[in-house]
Chain A
Amino acid sequence: RKEVEQDPGPFNVPEGATVAFNCTYSNSASQSFFWYRQDCRKEPKLLMSVYSSGNEDGRFTAQLNRASQYISLLIRDSKLSDSATYLCVVGGSNYKLTFGKGTLLTVNP
């Protein structure tokens, strides 16, 4: 099983759609969880951290299920500017972060 596995994508959705990204991780000792966003030919940037209680930031909602070792990101009312690659990132008991391959999202007008 890959350390961090994401939906392979790509996702093509119309503006206003709701889109969900799924991610699973193999290390049950993982302690920190993030979604990063990477625009085309740019660097990754933190979108949001993911907490066990779930968290929301505007149109973005992240969920964590430790028992299933599963992380999700939901984007509501998608905008053209949401087009990017979304990276699922998991941190262990040390300082290392493990990145998924990413899922490319294209929001179409």
Chain B
Amino acid sequence: ETGVTQTPRHLVMGMTNKKSLKCEQHLGHNAMYWYKQSAKKPLELMFVYNFKEQTENNSVPSRFSPECPNSSHLFLHLHTLQPEDSALYLCASSGRLASEETQYFGPGTRLLVL
């Protein structure tokens, strides 16, 4: 399935590195999301974009910086991360911004911060 793609699938980075995660959706959706999934914890919503405008920043530290150049692409820029930021980062999209809409997830980027 290639509805929502994410790259890279795995990433190891040091605390001083800068890297970017990329998400692309091929579903014609208008809303896109970044989630963080840590071990033993529920998915945490990080950012929400609707028609490429940010509508939600869920108290995420500034070392995470999202970018949405258009409705199909979403980036998460990472810099000076901490080891506790190691997690699975999932991108999702939905047709519109409403809780009853199904969200389609990408395969995620598994991030390890050393």
Contact = CB atoms under 8 A, between A and B. Distances in A.
A31 B99 contact: yes
A45 B41 CA distance: 17
A88 B33 CA distance: 18
A99 B106 CA distance: 17
B59 to A, nearest CB: 13
Contacts of A31: 99-100
A42 B107 contact: yes
Interface residues of A, number: 23
A95 B99 contact: yes
B66 interface: no
Contact of B41 (A92, A94, A101): A101
A34 B43 CA distance: 14
A78 B39 CA distance: 26
Q: Is the interface of B mostly helix, strand, loop or mixed?
A: loop
Given A43-B107, A91-B99, A97 B45 contact: yes
Interface in A44-59: 44-46, 49
Interface string B18-61: 00000000000001000000001111010010100001100000
Interface string A12-43: 00000000000000000001101000000011
18 contacts: A32-B99, A34-B102, A43-B106, A43-B108, A44-B90, A46-B102, A46-B103, A87-B42, A87-B43, A91-B99, A91-B100, A95-B48, A95-B98, A96-B99, A97-B99, A97-B103, A98-B42, A99-B42
Interface of A: 4, 31-32, 34, 42-46, 49, 87, 91-102
Interface of B: 31, 40-43, 45, 48, 50, 55-56, 90, 97-108
